[in-house]
Structure 1
């Protein structure tokens, strides 16, 4: 008898085969869903709508400080990104190098410690000596006002100044006007995309910086995991089938790029993509988007440390605390 489960993930190219049925989940009667905003998946998972769902790492970890943590994780990482490129500065703020961020007022998208913020703040601390308590923080939407994400715990460490934007304010406009000195955001400010000279990236040649970061650390930063409700965590066979299906769907997407290299990726509209693809394979390897804990343990442990150091987790968690035990050997 198959296990009936509702599963939600964002619609990526590496999850597409789950939605269109090319990849089946053995022994599971799965209902797949997605949402217009990936954060809506997180919120609806927290509200009990799904059995298994993609979850932002910080949103997931914050639930471990609730009285009864409701989730465990599967080592599936559907969203990952290098994040040196997520730090933006006002060009008149006198910020020429990372150390210049100390003492500045910095905006951050959505909440203090969003997934795309935990990583760069941790890197700023590890590599440049800039810690969160050295800065003032303003939380809000980048180009559109957003309400507080009050459906998830929002801890602020003692001694760190954090405030929200006023009604109607956006961080992108505040950065361009100089009301804030810098911004850490998953979203690129529209003004920068429109060619504003008042906003720049902290690391102008961010690709070279991020490639160097990977060479030194072997970390391709994960942003999201897949969470399962604790009352479903004992369905080990079903969860292993889900894990295998996510891996297969991801592998299908990777194999498409490998196969199309012989035709110089002529199905894509991006020129010189084949050169980028080959450079990425040389650096990141044949499986450049790995699932499983073994290939991601260093990245996971680093994020867990950053999360604790930034005052977002009451205690330093480890992999055994957060992953379904049967997946610790993946």
Structure 2
């Protein structure tokens, strides 16, 4: 008899085969869900609407009992549906005199959604490790980039002692505050619309971010994961079911990767981006044949680095390890 599971993930190209039925989950009667905003999926998981769901790493970690690992309602599968290099996610006011990362010290910085969103955890950690810029020497304003958003009161919001953090006022947006100079810089998964529209008042901290990010990968081997797939604690012992879920997500992802490999023979003529094949070739050379890997072996260093950053930034009370957060049956994947 098939197990009934409610499964939620964003509709990426590498999850499309789960939604259209090209990939099925053996032994599971799955009801698949998505949402216009991926954060709505996170909230739905926290509110008990799903059995299995894509989850931002920090949202997942904030669900852990700060005093004990026993109270965690979820564990993770080493499926990474969302990942991105993040040097491209730092924006500055061009009149603020910020020309290098070290110039961020002592500044007022906006951050999208909450203090320590996934991209923010990565960037604060990288700024500290590589440039000596620590988050506690800056002031922080939380909010929406181009649309006001309320405080995410459905998820714990720890803030380290002595760190100046406030939420933007009602109606304020971080993009407008950056353009006016009310804040000096911004860390955001969303690019400020005014920058895309040609504003000269906003620029990226790393103008040549692609080469900076490629160099970061060459040196560290880290392609930063943003999200994992979480499962309810009561499913942890159902390894047969969870292995089917893991295989299905992997098969859907591999179908997408294989299409890009095959389309290289025709220079990706179905893609409307000029020089895409050249870009694909460069990525394949740098990142390998499986450039978006699932499983813990290929991702352990990246995950453990994020866990360290989360702890150092005061978002986790304990320094967690991969063994603490992943379903035990998947530690050797």
TM-score w.r.t. structure 1 length? 0.99
> Does structure 1 residue 105 correspond to structure 2 residue 99?
no
CA contact (8 A) 2:122 2:224 kept: yes
Which residue is equivalent to 2:78?
Answer: 75
Which residue is equivalent to 1:239?
Answer: 242
Local SS of the residue matching 1:103: coil
CA distance in 2, matches of 1:69, 1:240: 21
> Does structure 1 residue 209 correspond to structure 2 residue 216?
no
Aligned residues: 330
Which residue is equivalent to 2:35?
Answer: 35
Deviation of the 1:69 alpha carbon: 1.4
Deviation of the 1:84 alpha carbon: 0.3
Deviation of the 1:187 alpha carbon: 0.4
Which residue is equivalent to 1:45?
Answer: 45
How far does the alpha carbon of each residue in 1:223-247 deviate from its partner, in whole angstroms, 9 at most, with x for none? 0000000011111100001000100
Which residue is equivalent to 1:160?
Answer: 163
Deviation of the 1:188 alpha carbon: 0.3
Local SS of the residue matching 1:163: strand
Which residue is equivalent to 1:306?
Answer: 309
Unaligned stretches of 5+ in structure 1? none
Root mean square deviation of aligned Cα: 0.7
CA contact (8 A) 1:65 1:314 kept: no
Give the ranges of 4+ consecutive aligned residues of structure 1 lying more than 4 Å apart after TM superposition: none
Which residue is equivalent to 1:275?
Answer: 278
Which residue is equivalent to 1:184?
Answer: 187
CA distance in 1, matches of 2:223, 2:15: 19
Local SS of the residue matching 2:63: helix
Which residue is equivalent to 1:57?
Answer: 57
CA contact (8 A) 2:66 2:318 kept: no
Which residue is equivalent to 2:93?
Answer: 90
User: What pairs up with 1:315-326 in 2 under 5 angstroms?
Assistant: 315-326=318-329
CA distance in 2, matches of 1:259, 1:319: 35
CA contact (8 A) 2:53 2:230 kept: yes
User: What pairs up with 1:291-302 in 2 under 5 angstroms?
Assistant: 291-302=294-305
Unaligned stretches of 5+ in structure 2? none
Deviation of the 1:65 alpha carbon: 2.9
CA distance in 2, matches of 1:231, 1:36: 28
CA distance in 2, matches of 1:199, 1:10: 30
CA distance in 2, matches of 1:157, 1:163: 13
